[in-house]
Amino acid sequence: MHVHVIKSDDGDTVERTDAPIFEGGQVWGRGLSTGLTEDTNVSVVNFAPGARAGWHTHTRDQVLYVVAGIGKVGDREGERVISAGDCAVVPAGIEHWHGAYDTGSPVAHLSIMPVGAETTVLDE
């Protein structure tokens, strides 16, 4: 066993705009931990201005760490602006959304969740 280094140009960034969870604009994703860990999925998700994940839940906790830009995260109690360096922790089962939405800025965040977590897309 040894330390794995994933270089910035390793792997493919895939457009995910057409995935049922996304709305409002273009979205790209890139897996960072695929095949390297049994416990944790880490991916970077890039949202163009106006794009976001619609209302959804996860069966396990999700951590969102913003690496660039300005975005928002919302739950049924309200929404909050998030920007580079901010971290949002979404407990399992909480109805929420996140992305660039109406900030006028793109946003990129890491999504960190346990392997096996399931996502359910909600009808608003």
CATH number at residue 40: 2.60.120.10
In a domain, 66, yes or no: yes
Give the global pTM.
0.93
**Residue 76 in this model has a pLDDT that exceeds 80:** yes
Question: Domain for residue 5, yes or no?
Answer: no
**Assigned domain for 75 exists:** yes
Q: What is the CA radius of gyration of the chain?
A: 14
**Token output for 9:** 């140009």
Domain that includes residue 30, residue range: 14-121
Average pLDDT on 58-73 reads 98
Q: What is the pLDDT of residue 27?
A: 98
Residue 87's nearest CA partner among 107, 64, 108, 71 is 64
Phi-psi category of 116—alpha, beta or left, where left has phi over 0 and alpha has psi -120 to 50?
left
Q: How many domains does the chain have?
A: 1
Q: What are the pLDDT digits (tens) for 11-37?
A: 899 999 999 999 999 999 999 987 788
* Tokens 């897996």, located at residue: 31
* Residue 8: predicted pLDDT: 84
Query: Reduced to 3 DSSP states, what percent helix, strand and coil does the chain have, rounded to the nearest 5?
Result: 0, 50, 50
Residue at 3 is within a domain: no
